[in-house]
Every structure is written in structure tokens, then in C-alpha cells.
Structure 1
């Protein structure tokens, strides 16, 4: 059996975390269980763990595609954006507001020449979802973490870092394989990835 870090997405069921040494709950406490099963339907009474409720509520894990990835080329840096997997953490608009974003309808547009290259890089590296990445001299930069780790975010998604493989029947892969966020409220339209719907439905860990 491979000892590489991975997360198995069970069809209409939980996430099974395997071979990841650092798994922490929303209070930043280590989860001591081996290969924990984490709820993704949002209805477990034992969050963040699965308690089997997905079966009784007939959890629907229907998904859609990731949508198009867009590139915004500037003089010193190219910004890569996949809006559909944005988890709305807000680091981009707070960190480099002149570069992120203006809107054409519901489509967001980045402006790489309106902030310094250094500020844009610093901001993109804080993006937990992998929705944003960047290119320098035509080369993609999207790998920032050496250690595999999982962090449950309070009333929010599951943050995954460090090159953890995602296994699922649909063959869905994160755009940035080094870091991504997984839905655990059950409401994302882009499962298994978070799309920010936890904020819309006011997902609560304690309910």
C-alpha cells in the first residue's frame, strides 16, 4: 500500500484522510485518529468527523466542472485565475486591491500592472484554494508547501496543503495540486471543492 499522503473522496460519503501526519481541527488541535473520515455532507452531529448521516439524508454529491482558467498577462508577472474554485477567503482583495479585481458582469478581471510583482506574489501565496497562481517568465509557480497537512477551518472548508493526492470516482483534480480547499458544508456546486457556499448558508460547526 502506498504511504503517500492522499484524501479519498467516498461516493456520496465522507473524505478519508490517509498518511497525512498533521491533521488539525477548527480549534487548531491535532486530530489523533488514524486515517480519519471527515464529514462532507454538512449534517454530521460529530463534526468534523463523519457519523453516517449522509446515508440518511441521501446526500447529493453531484458536481460540475472547474470552469475556465484565465490568464492576465502583465509586464513582469502573469496572474492565473480560476474563479469557480474561489472559496472567498478574501486575501486577494485585501492584499492587493488594485490588482484584484474589477468585474465584467459576474466575471472578474485581474490587473497585474497595477501592483508590484512582489505584492502580487505575496498575496497569491496566501490564497488557500489554489484559485490564483502566477507565472514568471512563462513558468507556472504554484508550489509553496513541503509538508502535507490538513486544517479544518472554523465554520468553513477543509484546507489541504503539501502535494496531497485527491482520489475520487469522477477523476476531479485540484488546479493547484499543492494546495486546495474541500467543501464540508455540503452546499458547494463544485464538489468536492469549496466554492464559498458555506458563507451563503451560514454553515455552523456546532449545528
Structure 2
């Protein structure tokens, strides 16, 4: 078993929660975390602005096998289709920490780290200008507030806002949970959103960095598996799950 890496600003979930990424098949979910659709909801300008829950799915099976190849007929669950599907299951992501290759954007009262490799094309970084410009202008209180919000809304953690006085990151207080991202604006389904420090490991025990927020591939076509790289948006992949954005919205409290 490899030593756990924990990203700055993240805390591990309780021991009962974990995900095993099988080498040629599904994600095996332990601990019965809640699983629900998470719809990317637009503002009045059709820009990504918040998440809203949709249909909930059971994780009572121990473990619960969730589709990783993108072609199961029982999504979000695995039905064995990975055995005959045309996909490459190879786990190609390097075991680096998220911050190892991140660019640092320096602003008045904030810094923002940006690791573009983890972009999932959720587009929360674009409203009101963009997160990069807002960080640079963070001497202005309104720009600072928006920069923190936009970086913190990034579901994959590609972007993180940091207070320059304390050098601590801003993070939503997530309880352990799983989200099936649905992007209605572009007509595609996204990755599996892990929240609240759920640890993820390979079958041989090698572990991935524990993060407060991370998105892993569901369409089977990412070039950075198990992580999502936004390919679902380019191929307009759809999971065809029935559900509507009628549930709770993302919490607003950050550290």
C-alpha cells in the first residue's frame, strides 16, 4: 500500500469511504456515499453558475460498481460492457500532486493555481470576465469575491484561490459524495465528481492524491485516466439518465 498524499486544503473522508479503480473495468465504490446527478446550471447570460441536484441513485451494494467505459446499458452502473467495448482502459495519469505542475497567477490580495491538465470544460471560470483576470484585480473587493467563487466552483480542482496573507486555499466544505455531472448547455454528460476527500486507489494498492474535489472519467475516452480531461464535451457523450435539476444547490460556504 502506497503512502497517502493529501492535497493542501483537503481532508480525508471517514475510513469507510473509498473508490477502487479497476484496471480494465468499473469504479468500485465503498462506504455508500450519496450519488446524484449534478446539473451545471447557467446564469442569465448562459454562463455556468451553480450546480443543482437531480435524480439520486443507490450505492447500497458493497461495493457499488459504476461504469468507467461509457457504454453500459445500466448507467451509472456497470453491466460488463467494458469486456467487449472499444475503449482503452489504461490508467495513464501520472501520480503527481495537483500542484506539482500548476501555474501561479498573482494578484493584489489573491493567488490562483491552475493545472490545465485537469480541465473538465465545466466553464465556471468564465463569468464576469474570467477567473484569471479577476485574480489579478483582486485588490478590488468585488473582483476578489468573484475570483474566489469561480476558482472554488471548478469541480476538478484545476483552479484554486489562495489568500496571499495566509497562503491558505479557499475550499467548499463538502461532505463525502458523488456527482454525475450533466451539462445541459452543451448537451453532454460529464465525469464522476468526487467530493469531500474520498480516497481513490488502484487494484494493486497504489493511491491517488486525496482531494476535496476531483472529476474522473465516465465516457471512457479521457487521455488522462482515471481523471476526466473534458473529452466528453468534444464527443457530446450522453449517459441518457432520466432526471431533472430539482434538488439542492451547491453550498456557498468556503473556508
TM-score band (shorter)?
Answer: 0.7 to 0.9
Q: Which residue of 1 aligns with 2:208?
A: 173
Contact 1:133 1:140 (8 Å CA) reproduced: no
- TM-score computed with the length of structure 2 as normaliser: 0.68
Structure 1's 205 and 195: CA in aligned 2 closer, same or farther, altered over 3 A? same
User: Pick from 51, 61, 75: which aligns with 1:47?
Assistant: 75
User: Pick from 8, 18, 22: which aligns with 2:34?
Assistant: 22
Q: Which residue of 2 aligns with 1:141?
A: 169
Structure 1's 170 and 133: CA in aligned 2 closer, same or farther, altered over 3 A? farther
Q: How many residues align?
A: 195
Q: Aligned partners of 2:149, 2:233: CA distance in 1, in Å?
A: 25
Structure 1's 90 and 146: CA in aligned 2 closer, same or farther, altered over 3 A? closer
Q: Which residue of 1 aligns with 2:220?
A: 186
Which structure exhibits the higher relative contact order, with contacts defined as CA atoms closer than 8 Å and separated by 6 or more residues?
Answer: 2
Q: Which residue of 1 aligns with 2:129?
A: 97
Unpaired runs of 5+ in structure 2?
1-13, 39-53, 183-188, 242-255
Matches within 5 A, 1:26-105: 27-34=54-61, 35-57=63-85, 59-62=87-90, 63-65=92-94, 68-94=101-127, 96-100=128-132
Structure 1's 188 and 182: CA in aligned 2 closer, same or farther, altered over 3 A? same
Structure 1's 171 and 143: CA in aligned 2 closer, same or farther, altered over 3 A? farther
Could you list the per-position Cα deviations for residues 20-67 of structure 1 after superposition, in whole angstroms to 9, with x for gaps in the alignment? 431224642242532311001111111111111111236422314378
Deviation at 1:7, TM superposition (A): 1.1
Contact 2:190 2:232 (8 Å CA) reproduced: yes
- For the pair 1:152 / 2:180, whether they are aligned, the reply is yes
Q: Could you list the structure 1 runs, at least 4 aligned residues long, displaced by more than 3 angstroms after superposition.
A: 64-67, 169-172
- For the pair 1:8 / 2:40, whether they are aligned, the reply is no
Aligned-pair RMSD on alpha carbons? Answer: 2.5
User: Pick from 235, 240, 247: which aligns with 1:206?
Assistant: 240
Moved more, 154-163 or 62-71: 62-71
Q: Which residue of 2 aligns with 1:103?
A: none
- TM-score computed with the length of structure 1 as normaliser: 0.83
Moved more, 182-191 or 15-24: 15-24
Deviation at 1:172, TM superposition (A): 6.0
Q: Aligned partners of 2:137, 2:108: CA distance in 1, in Å?
A: 10
Q: Aligned partners of 2:79, 2:173: CA distance in 1, in Å?
A: 31
Unpaired runs of 5+ in structure 1?
101-109
Q: Aligned partners of 1:161, 1:138: CA distance in 2, in Å?
A: 24
Q: SS of 2:190's equivalent? A: coil
